[in-house]
Structure 1
């Protein structure tokens, strides 16, 4: 199972590196539920997270997450101590804190420009993360840290970007003129190179042969020339014989 788990995390990390430009050190935002689950399952996050990623990891949280854990009382005091060991990212709610889930979503907004992973056990937060492209999700299952597979939203975003790269620039400029009645741009089909079919006969070979001019006399064959010479010589000998007689 450990080998299969390592294959899965390598595959998912490769997807985010190639399509969303994630790089080491990987930045992981943790909420209170994840810290509480790690404490309950005796998971040393600082030690096990880099081993799971097989690379450098920066563990971080926010002021809102710490305030939320503090407000929940003694039951989550241990989770608060765990979260305080991580880097605290500045958020826009310093003066008026919001819930930890809302804060983490705001930090990963605008296309997740800082390439955050979100680690949570909150199912509602996880569902919201899956509706955004390019935000990897981490959770704990059976005493193990798990990187969730890419969401359908992330896969659809990658497919759309790859399809747009296949359309030539001059066709992209004409998409505005190809919108249907509902306002949806129709991408024209890309025509491939025309194959050469079976070529026909040479048109010059189909022309009729030119007939010779009948007024021009045909040149006699060599045998005919020799016969004429013999006849002329025979006539000349007959004339000489008549003269001598």
Structure 2
């Protein structure tokens, strides 16, 4: 987070297990911390806390036990209008090219998906507090056997994957998941850079690209990539439920935020459906 930021941890003892995917939680925390850092260009303090809380009644949460993960900064804060729009997709107070505006929206979506909540509290001059509530796992309930579906992820051979995302946090998290699955990863943080990689190196088995990128979005990149490397399997990672107007290419899509198993399943499906032999 930089040398000008004082990072403090306040983690309660004996936290119970929470019902959340580790990779998704890590990505959510990274986004919240980077947002806090960016709100303090002259430096400041970020407090990361975790504790168990009991909710008896709330509009956005069912009654029960939750793990509350909080990120608190001493930045300039937000006014009421900005705070009200903070979780809207693609709303951002950062200058062009500094962020997609999908961070808080994706964290909110993850929280809702988990039957939790994301709460923001902020005032001008008083910093911002982000609270992510995640339901406590019921350890007394034994996991039921899971029937393996034909659609289930099956490990594939090691592939060389070009990963394109202008959000460095998402790129880092996805690259870690891909490496953990045994794949070789080439990273590019923009469409033009990805095209240069493809032009210089045809030994790419699959491209995974974000959609919302400045200058050249993922659909535009995919069209250009197919001109350079016809038949290249491409997976579009997007926070959109539906593709925006003007997106003319039909690509397999993986909704953000995604788990490692979801990512692995899509890679397996695309590589098995491709006529191109793997480069490894």
Same fold (TM over 0.5): no
Larger radius of gyration: 1
Larger relative helix fraction: 1
Q: Name the TM-score, length of structure 2 as normaliser.
A: 0.25
Larger relative strand fraction: 2
